[in-house]
Structure 1
Amino acid sequence: MLAVLPFLTFCELGASTPSETSSQIQLDVGVSNPTMLAGKKNQINHLRISLTGFDLPKSDRRPPVNTAIVIDQSGSMGGEKIAQARNAAIAAVERLRDDDIVSIVLYSDSATVLVPATKASDRESIIRKIQTIQAQGSTALFAGVSKGAAEVRKFIDGDYVNRVILLSDGKANVGPKSPRELERLGASLVKEGISVSTLGLGLGYNEDLMGRLASAGSGNHMFVEAADDLVAVFQKEFNDLLSVVASEFEIHAKLAEGIRAVRVLNSEADISGQDIYVPLTQLYARQQRYFIVEVEVPGGENGAEMPMAEVSIKYKNLISDTTDKLTSSIGIRFSDDAKVVEENRDLETYAQCAIQFANDANIRATLLRDQGKIEEAKQLLITNCYQLNKLSAESRGCIAEPLALELERNAKLNGMQSELLDLPMEWTRSRKQMIFEQNRNASQQDYRVDSPSQVSPPAVQSSPKSP
């Protein structure tokens, strides 16, 4: 039995008291070791904050979108690449509803607006303009993203899903061009409620720049090796864009006195004393998005209990058009029996921690390979594979199936990557694939689970928002 302090989850709605069928985000707070060893000071533990999106209504109702499609039209995009980029953009526009807003921005030596932000009702005119796109010039990537964001800002609205979608096949060579500069741009747009997704085409683009922009921009990063795959990848991105159920998140964890925050694994966060603030722009239907906070815990006597953290989540529910609030708290206890500590592990939280630790090691392996330290990099990936496989076997039947599959997928992935590190001809492709997978794991990009309505909910209390 897990020995944790009891907790309640509360929900405060913005406009009215919800019915039993109201759609709500599910908040789940866990700790990898609910029982810790007594008499030992400054032990490390891990707090998990998990949010799960609900299903979209069965009706056609969904939040409207406000998106800028930013297309690289530099000379390297000539031929099949630009042709497939046109096809992908047209297919995306055809999926939009009349009340959605779309703009098309092109960039080469500079950035230009082909289609200013407008309602998607005039599809034929928008498509005709897309069909005129040709490839020429250099790659002013920063200017392209900035211009796309400016178009989104024209109609930015909390009731819309606001996103910039960037396609590029090359390295930024005009204007700001470092990964850090693009990362700062992505982070600043998140504060405005605009997310950024990046699609890297072929083997010539800068995956560090594109990956860090998407990560800081709370969007997706995709590696598209062949131009023929562009339409399918654009469709996948729009599947996500059209399934957003909540936005404008304010995630706050307050640690109990004596507990020290060390870091938040693979995620941006603001840590100030006992307070931790984690940014999140949007959540998809049935997506589980979790954050792992590494903490240092002071010692405790055998049998003693200690509060660990209080977590509060505030967000915009795009289906009910309310501002919802969830709160939860969790604690730990101490035992001098190491076997009890081991038996009381929260395997769900432990497995998610393992995936993020392996992801962190995978990032280090990439850097080691860049430095020519192939054997060190390979050993990290082999260790990842072994540890994930071991945990997968130990937790079989004890954790949710999607999480079990993620453990297996990551174990297999690290094993395959370890075999490719010493193949020079494969490194350019392998590196892009590794960066893509690192971003995918850090943001749980494709992690979908049963919606909260399909699982037993926590205790919930609801009340109308104060005027």
Structure 2
Amino acid sequence: MKMNFKAMMVTGLAVALMHAGTTHAEQVTLDVSPAYTVLKSGKKQTTWIRVGVTGFEMKADKERAPVNVAIVLDKSGSMSGEKIAKAREAAMGAIDRLGPNDIVTVVTYDTTVNVLVPATKLTDKAYVKAAIAGVNSGGGTALFAGVSKGAAEIRKFLEKERVNRIILLSDGLANEGPSSPSELGALGASLKKEGISVSTLGLGLDYNEDLMAQLASKSGGNHEFIERATELADIFNREFDDVTSVVAQEVSIKIVVPEGVRPVRVLGNDAEIAGQNIQLLFNQLYSKQNRHVVLEVEVPPSENGQKLSLAKISANYHNMQSGKTDSLSGAASVKFSDKDKLVEKSLDKKVMEDVVVFVANEQNRLATDFLDAGDLFKCARTLEESNIFLKENAQKLGRSAKLEAIIISNGAQVQALKNRDVNRARKDMRYLQNSIDLNTSEISSKLQVQEPVQSPAPPTPRNP
């Protein structure tokens, strides 16, 4: 929809950029956009605001920030054969992508933890690769201790100028030491506060996806469901694409809504709502990556022609190019009309698309809860209802690759449930949920639909 300058001023979508640092350094951009710039007058209602940041483009490898990475490898007995061989191969390939200014740690664990390569500058790749090549399988799975030891090595060179990341590979259940999803989630949240993210790579069908997904999501890292060991090299490559393209860290966003406007919920990232203030943190931001959340707010009845401020946003982040802390600010507002057509025309379809994606993700989580309760029917029904909801919104919003990808993923999960392949379905659900929360550009299922999924009679889905 085209908008003239006056209309743009009315919506309050101006974003002011203020920064500390050199004038030549690239900057992250902040976008603050309400789903509707015009609301119906005379009634209390809820509406949505999208708040997002986009990383600037990293034009050359020489511009990238040095990394401080710990590769934590499960070498328990279940990792024998092809799994440990492909893990060694993938880890050694990752080492080849790093340079002499990068810090590398290699930790292995089974029943106990071994620091194979203590945190050190990567001046001797052959030494590190030889150490990895000697890893063999055997023993239990002290996962918590392995991650904790990796974090201890990261802390030796912990600084804002480096990308601090733990990459954890495991194929089994944590059976030594702390082993619950809540305990690993708490560890992830604690590491995030230190500026350390954890990416978790779950291999095969026997690992605990809740544990791995919690650790990743709470720390701001990626979670991957890897069914076949032959996929490991590609997954490691993708992970190191991310690690070597970080342009901003510690992206702290504060949203303040005025009195009379009530914050309802934030979707897309953990957020703390305290009165009229909302606080959230993105640990790391990649080159050209868009990270966003959507905020639902309740607004009071307002008269025709009235204007209302919805929110003011401030953000701070560490710029990995300039080494300085930059600040951003923005705001969102709406006006009210008694004309339904004006309200309808003011819809920002891209914002609403993101709202629909996050609402569908919450429905996927609800389906997972039904699955855990042993109710496969309600789980499948919730996924099918979610697809009806997605298809209805796709018709309103136009063709959407995001919505289509989630529809395909939900359908594949339903088919897996019908085939009683519950384990694979559940792992795919957790993988999808983490991908959506991280605003992954390519949302896809790890499953394949073997036959068409028949939808039930349409219920009345909850619109965003």
Fold shared per TM-score above 0.5: yes
Is residue 39 of structure 2 the alignment partner of residue 36 of structure 1? yes
Structure 1 position 228, deviation (Å): 1.1
Q: Equivalences for 1:124-203 in 2 at 5 Å?
A: 124-203=126-205
Q: Label 1:447 to 1:52 Cα distance change in 2 as closer, same or farther (>3 A).
A: farther
Contact kept in structure 2, 1:288 and 1:447, CA below 8 Å: no
Matched, 1:204 2:206: yes
Number of the residue aligned with 1:430? 425
Change (3 A) 1:202 1:441: same
Deviation at 1:64, TM superposition (A): 0.5
C-alpha separation between the residues in 2 aligned to 1:335 and 1:415?
40
Segment of structure 1 superposing worse, 187-196 or 251-260: 251-260
Give, as a single letter, the amino acid of the residue that structure 2 aligns with 1:62. R
Q: Which residue of 1 aligns with 2:82?
A: 80
Residue 11 (structure 2) aligned to one of 5, 17, 21: 5
**TM-aligned CA deviation for residue 288 of structure 1:** 1.0
> Could you give the per-residue CA deviations for residues 19-78 of structure 1, whole angstroms, max 9, x where no partner exists?
4xx42211111112222221112x221121111112112353211000000011111111
User: What is the DSSP-based 3-state SS (H/G/I as helix, E as strand, rest coil) of the residue aligned with 1:381?
Assistant: helix
Pairing of 1:299-338 with structure 2 (within 5 A): 299-338=301-340
1:410 to 396, 406, 412: 406
In structure 2, give the amino acid aligned to 1:439.
N
Q: Give the letter for the 2:15 counterpart.
A: T
1:49 counterpart = 2:44: no
What is the aligned partner in structure 1 of residue 368 from structure 2? 366
On the 8 A contact 1:101/1:118 being kept in 2, the answer is yes
Do 1:381 and 1:414's aligned partners in 2 also have CA atoms closer than 8 Å?
Answer: yes
Rounded Cα–Cα distance in structure 2 between residues aligned with 1:263 and 1:184: 22
- Equivalent-residue separation in structure 2 for 1:349 and 1:314 (angstroms): 23
The one-letter amino acid of 1:139's match is T
- Tell me if the contact between 1:69 and 1:104 (Cα under 8 Å) persists in the aligned partners: yes
Identify the residue that residue 263 of structure 2 maps to in structure 1.
261
Structure 1 residue 447: Cα displacement: 5.5
Hey, what's the Cα distance between the residues in 2 that align with 1:317 and 1:409? Answer: 33
Q: Equivalent residue for 2:417?
A: 421
Q: Which residue in the other structure is 2:456 paired with?
A: none
Q: Distance in 2 between matches of 1:269 and 1:79?
A: 43
Tell me by how many angstroms 1:390 deviates. 3.0
Which whole-Å CA distance do the structure 1 matches of 2:54 and 2:392 have between them? 27
Q: Note if 1:238 corresponds to 2:244.
A: no
TM-superposed CA distance for 1:316, in Å, is: 1.0
SS at match of 2:429: helix
Residues 185-235 of structure 1: per-residue CA shift (max 9 Å, x gap): 000000000011000000000001100110001000001101111111111
1:105 aligns with 2:107: yes
1:260 to partner: Cα distance = 1.4
- 8 A contact 2:12–2:334 mirrored in 1: no
Do the aligned partners of 1:287 and 1:447 also contact (CA within 8 Å) in 2?
no
Q: Secondary structure at the match of 2:178?
A: coil
CA distance in 1, matches of 2:165, 2:242: 11
Q: Deviation digits for residues 294-344 of structure 1, max 9, x if unmatched?
A: 212112111111001111111111123222111001101222233322221
Counterpart CA distance in 1 for 2:57 and 2:11 is 30
Does 2:435 match 1:440? yes
2:40 and 2:17 map into 1 onto residues whose CA distance is: 34
Moved over 4 A (4+): 1-4
Q: Distance in 1 between matches of 2:389 and 2:20?
A: 45
For 1:265, give the aligned amino acid. Answer: L
The one-letter amino acid paired with 1:315 is: Y
Instruction: For 1:377 and 1:301, locate their aligned partners in 2 and report how far apart those are by CA, in whole Å.
Output: 43
Q: Compute the displacement of 1:266 (Å).
A: 3.9
Secondary structure of 1:138's counterpart equals coil
Q: Which amino acid aligns with 1:10?
A: A
Relative CO higher for 1 or 2, CA cutoff 8 Å, sep ≥ 6?
1
Tell me the C-alpha RMSD between the 2 structures: 1.6
CA deviations on 1:409-440 (whole Å, 9 max, x unpaired) are 1122222322322221x211111111101100
Q: 1:386 — aligned with what?
A: 388
Superposition deviation, residue 147 in structure 1: 0.5
Q: Contact 1:266–1:360 (CA<8 Å) still a contact in 2? A: no
Q: TM-score, normalised by structure 1?
A: 0.90
Q: 1:12, CA displacement in angstroms?
A: 2.6
Alpha-carbon displacement from aligned partner over 1:343-376 (angstroms, at most 9, x marks no partner): 2111111100000000100111122123232332
CA distance in 1, matches of 2:53, 2:308: 24
| 1:26 is the counterpart of 2:34 | no
Kept in 2: contact 1:34–1:331 (CA 8 A): yes
For the Cα contact (< 8 Å) 1:142–1:175, is it kept in 2?
A: yes
Alpha-carbon distance in structure 2 between the residues aligned to 1:366 and 1:146 = 29
Q: Which runs of 5+ in 1 are unaligned?
A: 398-403, 449-467
> 2:448 corresponds to which residue?
none
Would the alpha carbon gap of residues 288 and 326 (structure 1) be closer, same or farther in structure 2, given more than 3 Å must change?
same
Matches of 2:441 and 2:339, distance apart in 1: 39
Q: Is the 8 A contact 1:33 1:344 kept in 2?
A: yes
Matches within 5 A, 1:275-354: 275-354=277-356
Secondary structure at the counterpart of residue 437 of structure 1? helix
Contact persistence 1:249–1:280 (CA under 8 A) = yes
Superposition TM-score, scaled by structure 2 size: 0.91
3-state SS of the aligned residue for 2:435?
helix
Amino acid of the structure 1 residue aligned with 2:303: E
Residue by residue, what CA displacement relative to the aligned partner does 1:64-118 show, whole Å, maximum 9, x if unpaired?
A: 0000000111111111111111111111111101100000011111222110000
**What number of residue pairs does the alignment pair up?**
437
